[in-house]
Structure formats: C-alpha cells, structure tokens
Amino acid sequence: MDRYSWAEPVVEEVHPGIHRIPLPLPNDGLRAVNVYAIEQPGGLVLVDAGWSVPESERQLEMLLGQLGAGLGDVKRFLVTHVHRDHYTQAVALRRRFGATIALGRGEQPALERLLNTGALPAREHRARGLRQLGAAALADELEQRIQDNPDSPGVWEMPDEWIDGEVDVPLATTTLRALPTPGHTPGHVVFHDPAERLLFAGDHVLPTITPSIGLTTDPGPLPLGAFLTSLRMVRTMPDARLLPAHGPVTDSVHARVDELLEHHAERLDAAVAAVTAGADTAYQVARALPWTRRARPFDDLDVFNRMLATSETAAHLDLLVAQGRLREQRIDDVIHVAEA
Ligand SMILES: [Zn+2]
C-alpha cells in the first residue's frame, strides 16, 4: 500500500459515528492533517480543525457533505494544540458559524505571543533562540524570510474554553478524558475514550514520524523531558487504537510509544557521542547527527528542517544537561556544551 494513501481526500469511518477526515496543508512536509468528526445529536464535534487555507476549507466542506453535514454543523472544536495546522481553521469557522473552541491551558503563553500582547513577536523570538544555539546563519535566513513575508495577521484568537489539567469532556454519545501531554507543545492534550478504546493523539504519538520537540513558540523548560514523561504517562493507560493527526490509524498506542521511547534513548546517546567527538553547540551537534529515517546529512535539509533539527537537538542537549550527562556554559550569549 502507498505510504501516503491515508492523506488522500477520502472520509474513513474509524469507529461507528467517528470519521477521519484528512485535510491538505500549504506545505507538503507532513502531507495532510487528520481531523476527526464525532457524530452527535444536533451536530458534530471535531477533534482538531486543520490549517486555515481555502483548499482545506473546501475539502472539509466536501468531505462533511459525504456525511450529510456542512461546515455550520460543527458545534464544537476540541483542539489538541496551538500549531496552525490544528488550530487556525477552528478560529476561521467560529467567526462565521459560531462553534466553540477548547484548547489546553498550557498554550496560553504561546497564544499571547502570537497575538503579540506585549511580547517579542514569535518569529523574531525564534530567530533570537537560534543564535543562542550557535546557529547564527540559520537565524539570518529566518530573519530574511520574516522581512520577505510578514506573518499573516488575524488567524489567531483565544479559545472559548481552556482545558485545565485532566478533565472529563462529556459528549452525548460518550465521555472523553482530556489528558495534558506537554512536550510537542507545552499545552498539548490528547483525548482518550476508554469505553471505546480510542486515543485522539494529536501530534503526541504519530505512527510513522517522531513529533518535533522544541520547535514551537515558548516550548518551556526541558520540552523533551516533558515529552518523555507524557509518553510514559500514556503508556500506563490501557492500550487503545491510535488516532493520530498525521498518518494512518493503527491498532496500538503502546507499540508506538515503545518505539518513540527507544528512538529518543538512541538519539540522546548519539548526541553525547557527538559532544565527545568535539561538537559543542546545538547547531554543531545537529550537523554531526543523521536526520530523517533515511539518515540524511544536516546540510541536505531545507531551511525549515534545519531549524527543526537544531531545536530538536537543543531539546536533547538540555535534557542531557539536566540529567548530568553533559554540562553547559554560556559564552557571549551562545550556549556551549561539554562532557560532564
Ligand atoms: Zn501537526
């Protein structure tokens, strides 16, 4: 089967009354984002919403039509995290149709920065962060892109409801349990349906790729440590079918969590080995490591993926410092690492 067949514009009923709806993204790195429509008396609940671009809205309208519904039938959005491929279409549809939006409380600082209420704008903030990781050339490229295409205003607004801690989300047909899973973003939540043995996993557990860590607005301290803790938390719950935001539905959350934990243990070891061999900033360690499942050299990646790789590596180094396996030192506002 084609590796990307899950991304084709087809509705898949993954459970009676629950439909996976893949929506297109303006950049094709991830192929598509899955939103899940849960049928309720009087309308639909959507887990995640898609990226607010015209082709995504057209496809959502077309695929909801196959369920005998329209955009106005979505009454409520449960959004796993604040990234634009999950959140922004909820904002756009709420303006026209009045649905409500729920989002994890931990996303509030990022949203405040995106709404730029007194904070340094998000992309400038990220460029500054890259300089601290020894990636001045990447920061220059990013700042050039900020000048070339300023951020489109108006796609960000606050949700109607903050999900605070572990809470029940009662629906007419079932009760979902919202569980904070910080890591990919600080306010990421998953929605567990223990009765039906389903996990709406957002980007916390993805079946074919490892979720990015650290490449987000205000990732918080030790995002990788938080992510691994969140993975172990999910591993202690009864196993469920994995309903991911990117990729096909699979049978076991546990099986994939085990692979992700092993992957990060290997990457942590590889980062220590790179430091032992002489790399001393996140940027240098990132350049010493292989990337993607095809083990590509860092310099072959495009600028977005080099940023992602650098932030990801910084998240690994921060955790290694916290674990006492490495030590760090700030010189001229650049973070250097060395063997402990
Ligand atoms: Zn995503």
Domains of the chain: 5-115+156-251 (3.60.15.10), 263-339 (1.10.10)
Ligand 1: distance of its center to the CA of 16 in Å?
25
Q: Tell me what pLDDT residue 114 has.
A: 83
pLDDT value at position 219?
Answer: 75
Please, are residues 160 and 77 in contact by the beta-carbon 8 Å criterion? no
Comparing 130 with 23, which gets the higher pLDDT?
A: 23
Percent of the chain with pLDDT over 70: 96
Interval between CA 43 and ligand 1 midpoint (Å): 25
Cα of 73 to ligand 1 centre, how many Å? 24
- The encoded tokens of residue 320 equal 């290694």
Centroid of ligand 1 to alpha carbon of 81 (angstroms)? 8
The bridge status of strand 241-244 relative to strand 198-202 is parallel
Confidence of residue 301 (pLDDT cuts 50, 70, 90): very high
Mean pLDDT of 129-136: 90
Q: What is the C-alpha separation between 226 and 220, in angstroms, rounded?
A: 9
Range scoring the smallest mean pLDDT among 117-131, 244-258, 293-307, 325-339: 117-131
CA of 86 to the centre of ligand 1 (A): 6
Identify which of 198, 187, 182, 193 has the alpha carbon closest to the alpha carbon of residue 230. Answer: 182
d(CA 100, CA 266): 42
- Measured in Å, residue 146 CA sits from the centre of ligand 1 at 22
Q: 199 CA to middle of ligand 1, Å? A: 16
| pLDDT category of residue 120 using cuts at 50, 70 and 90 | low
The rounded Å distance from CA 216 to ligand 1 centre is 11
Quick one: pLDDT at residue 304? 84
Q: What is the CB-side half-sphere exposure of residue 5 using CA atoms within 13 A?
A: 5
Tell me, what's the pLDDT at 107?
95
Mean pLDDT of 91-119: 90
Report CA(235)–ligand 1 centroid distance (Å): 21
- C-alpha of residue 211 to centroid of ligand 1, in Å: 8
| Cα dist from 82 to 86, 282, 309, whole Å | 7, 25, 20
- Give Cβ neighbours of residue 73 (< 8 Å, ≥ 6 apart): 43, 44, 64
- Cα-based distances in Å from 74 to 20, 61, 260: 14, 11, 33
As a whole number, mean pLDDT of residues 50-73 equals 97
> Is 330's pLDDT higher than 70?
yes
pLDDT of residue 268: 96
Distance from the Cα of residue 53 to its chain's centroid: 18
Q: 245 C-alpha to center of ligand 1: Å? A: 6
Mean pLDDT of all residues in 8-31: 92
pLDDT greater than 70 at residue 55: yes
Task: Output the CA 22–ligand 1 centroid distance in Å.
Answer: 12
CA distance 294 to 98: 45
**pLDDT score for 234:** 97
Residue 238 to residues 88, 198, 241, Cα–Cα distance (Å): 32, 10, 10
Q: What is the pLDDT of residues 192-224, one digit of tens each?
A: 999 999 999 999 999 999 888 877 777 778 999
Q: How far is the CA of 29 from the centre of ligand 1 (A)?
A: 11
pLDDT number for residue 293: 81
Please, are residues 230 and 222 in contact by the beta-carbon 8 Å criterion? no
- Asked if residues 338 and 329 have their Cβ atoms less than 8 Å apart, the reply is yes
For residue 11, how far is its CA from the centre of ligand 1 (angstroms)?
19
Dist. CA 50 → ligand 1 center (Å): 9
Give the Å distance between the CA of 339 and the centre of ligand 1.
Answer: 34
Mean pLDDT of the chain: 92
> What residues are neighbours of ligand 1 (ion), with CB under 5 Å?
85, 203
For strand 326-331 and strand 175-180, is the pairing parallel, antiparallel, or unpaired? unpaired
For position 2, what pLDDT does the model report?
77
Q: How far is the CA of 246 from the centre of ligand 1 (A)?
A: 7
pLDDT confidence tier of residue 119, bands split at 50, 70 and 90: low
How close is the Cα of 87 to the center of ligand 1, in Å? 9
Q: Model confidence at 142, in pLDDT bands (50, 70, 90)?
A: confident
C-alpha of residue 273 to centroid of ligand 1, in Å:
30
The answer, yes or no, to whether residue 152 has pLDDT greater than 70, is: no
| 328 Cα–ligand 1 center, Å | 31
- The band of 99, judged by pLDDT with boundaries at 50, 70 and 90, is very high
pLDDT at 151: 56
> Strands, DSSP E only, in the chain?
12-15, 18-24, 32-40, 43-47, 74-78, 100-104, 161-163, 167-170, 175-180, 189-193, 198-202, 241-244, 326-331, 334-339
pLDDT-derived band at 129 (thresholds 50, 70, 90) equals confident
Instruction: Please tell me the distance between residue 184's alpha carbon and the centre of ligand 1 in angstroms.
Output: 9
Ligand 1: centre distance to CA 203 (Å): 6
Q: What share of the chain is helix, strand, coil (3-state, %, to 5)?
A: 40, 25, 40
CA distances to 61, 85, 138, 162, 284 from 24, in Å: 13, 9, 28, 27, 34
Per-residue pLDDT band for 278 (boundaries 50, 70, 90) equals very high
Please tell me the pTM assigned to this model.
0.91
- Alpha-carbon Rg for the chain, nearest whole angstrom, is 20
330 C-alpha to ligand 1 centroid (Å): 32
| Per-residue pLDDT at 15 | 97
Ligand 1: distance of its center to the CA of 316 in Å? 20
